[in-house]
């Protein structure tokens, strides 16, 4: 019984992983472009108070800073730590793909050599 992953099935897994990574990167880049570069400010529930948009790398996402009040104070909103989950999931997925490929190559070295030709 041959349990070696077929090259086509293995490459489909990596292609799916690459597409998922690309979609995540495009989503993050689009959000950063829209909220920070194009829009550039943040609104509150009060019509006359606008904040300054920024970007946080950890946790990943847009931030907003408001300077208002008497005496003046600064309030900042930051993204949730759940924004770290997609990149962690993608890294773990990549490791699982690499590990399954290496384990399959160790179990069936003849199949591995034939696949590399």
pLDDT tens per residue, range 36-50: 888 778 877 776 778
Kindly state the tokens that stand for 63. Answer: 């931030």
Neighbour tally for 64: CB within 10 Å: 19
CA 56/CA 73 separation, integer angstroms: 21
The most distant pair of C-alpha atoms in the chain lies apart, rounded to whole Å, by: 76
Q: SS3 for 77?
A: strand
pLDDT tens per residue, range 58-80: 998 999 988 877 787 888 888 89
pLDDT tens per residue, range 83-104: 999 999 999 999 998 888 777 6
DSSP state of 6: P
Domain residue spans of the chain: 43-103
Report the candidate in 116, 115, 117, 86 with the shortest Cα–Cα distance to residue 6.
Answer: 115
Q: Mean pLDDT, the chain, as a whole number?
A: 81
Across the chain, the runs of DSSP E, i.e. the strands, are 41-43, 50-57, 60-68, 73-77
């Amino acid at each position: 019984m041959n349990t070696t992953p077929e090259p086509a099935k293995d490459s489909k897994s990596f292609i799916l992983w690459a597409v998922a990574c690309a979609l995540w990167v495009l989503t993050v880049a689009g959000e950063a472009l829209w909220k920070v570069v194009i829009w550039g400010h943040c609104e509150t529930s009060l019509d006359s108070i606008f904040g300054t948009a920024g970007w946080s790398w950890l946790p990943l996402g847009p931030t907003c800073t408001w300077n208002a009040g008497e005496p003046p104070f600064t309030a900042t909103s930051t993204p949730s730590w759940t924004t770290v989950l997609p990149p962690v999931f993608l890294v773990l997925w990549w490791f699982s793909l690499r590990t399954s490929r290496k384990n399959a190559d160790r179990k069936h070295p003849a199949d591995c050599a034939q696949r590399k030709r």
